[in-house]
Amino acid sequence: MFHTADPKDIKEGKITDIYFARTIEILKAKKADKWVKAEFITKNLPSGWTWGVLSGIEECVELLNDLKVSVRAMKEGTIFEPLQPVLELEGMYTEFGLYETALLGLICQASGIATKAARCKKLAGERLVISFGARRMHPILAPMIERSAYIGGCDGVAVAKSAELIGEEPMGTMPHALIIILGDTVEALKAFHEVIDPKIKRVALVDTFGDEKFEAIAAAEALGKQLFAVRLDTPSSRRGNFLRILEEVRWELDLRGYEDVKIFVSGGIDEDSIPELNRFVDAYGIGTSISNAPVIDFAMDIIEVEGRPLAKRGKMSGSKRVFRCIKCHADKMIPFQKTATRCECGGMLEEILVPFMKEGRLLDKLPRPKAVREYVLSQMRRLPVPPTAVGKS
Ligand SMILES: [Zn+2]
């Protein structure tokens, strides 16, 4: 058997820290259940991040949609900052308390992945960024991981099932296995060209047996204009100066009239390497650094009990409104009972923590992943390129 829960287990509240189950048992036995509001916030973001991309809301809706709970939430793909509630639940505590563990699990990991993907895409600019990291994680999570990578800004995903979920074609090149089994890079490329649907772009992997430069030239000469790109997945033990290898491959291809052949790189790519590689790279395959992105430490906290503000030490009590200025994009958070219409800059304020579900019923249709991705990219345009370790030095 696979060591995973199935959706039924999650819906039945079996994926819960046992102390929540015991709390509910006590509240029911003592007839002490109360009407509460609880919010999901993070106090800090990992790795020095200053903003995050919210992901996992659609799955929270899936979990909450049979419960007598009203929900306010930021739309999936909203860029948020620490201390802003991204989700607020309202109802009897025993109606949803059992799901705290699962709800947090749905947004903490997905939002970390979406944020990491957004940072990589911002650094890569117009260059393609493809999610290659499903293989580092449990396969049952691959669709969730790659959906989050895609809505964060990845241009495509590698796994067939993930692509099906987001409604895009999967993207891939060729593995070393094909070249090793056929025994030669050019033979493998020709076989690919002969067998695979012509609408799939031809990308030659050029690091298996020989030097990247000579394999790239051979691939270009074999396929001519039909070669879309060469991929360098050069092992770290052979990289030496990877940037110089890329420069040389670009030079040699250009010299022979293959200016249109793109350069695709993969293997251990992270934020820090993107800025300098951008000079020669047209497409990135990014694996572990996106699929194993740091999680965002959201917590669920009760902030109101029976209509009165009440929260633990270290937490601001009471329900909140979160606004974003449509002109300067600054955010403003105020108590729920108050209203605000204008930013200090004079711009109109738009509420970004909005009613989402009324007693378990969704108020609006959920957007398609492609629309969520476009929403993320539109917000990203106004953000500065994130500083990386390389950028800081
Ligand atoms: Zn403003």
What's residue 389's pLDDT? 62
Task: Quote the ligand 1 centre to 51 CA distance (angstroms).
Answer: 18
Task: Quote the ligand 1 centre to 323 CA distance (angstroms).
Answer: 10
CA distance 278 to 54: 27
Is 286 in contact with 130 (CB distance < 8 Å)? yes
What's residue 66's pLDDT? 87
CA distance 35 to 70: 11
Task: Quote the ligand 1 centre to 352 CA distance (angstroms).
Answer: 14
The two three-digit tokens of residue 148, written as one number: 């989050």
Task: Quote the ligand 1 centre to 340 CA distance (angstroms).
Answer: 12
Task: Quote the ligand 1 centre to 326 CA distance (angstroms).
Answer: 7
- State yes or no: pLDDT of 376 exceeds 50: yes
Phi-psi category of residue 349: left, alpha or beta, with phi > 0 → left and psi -120 to 50 → alpha:
beta
What's residue 393's pLDDT? 39
- State yes or no: pLDDT of 257 exceeds 60: yes
Least confident of 77-81, 234-238, 241-245, 252-256: 234-238
Pairing of strands 128-131, 320-325: unpaired
CA distance 62 to 328: 34
Q: What percent of the chain has pLDDT over 70?
A: 99
Task: Quote the ligand 1 centre to 345 CA distance (angstroms).
Answer: 4
Q: Which residues neighbour ligand 1 (ion) by CB within 5 Å? A: 325, 327-328, 330, 343, 345, 347
- State yes or no: pLDDT of 392 exceeds 70: no
Task: Quote the ligand 1 centre to 220 CA distance (angstroms).
Answer: 52
What's residue 243's pLDDT? 96
Task: Quote the ligand 1 centre to 203 CA distance (angstroms).
Answer: 46
Task: Quote the ligand 1 centre to 50 CA distance (angstroms).
Answer: 19
- State yes or no: pLDDT of 40 exceeds 70: yes
CA distance 292 to 114: 11
What's residue 390's pLDDT? 57
CA distance 259 to 178: 26
Task: Quote the ligand 1 centre to 325 CA distance (angstroms).
Answer: 5
Task: Quote the ligand 1 centre to 382 CA distance (angstroms).
Answer: 13
Task: Quote the ligand 1 centre to 348 CA distance (angstroms).
Answer: 7
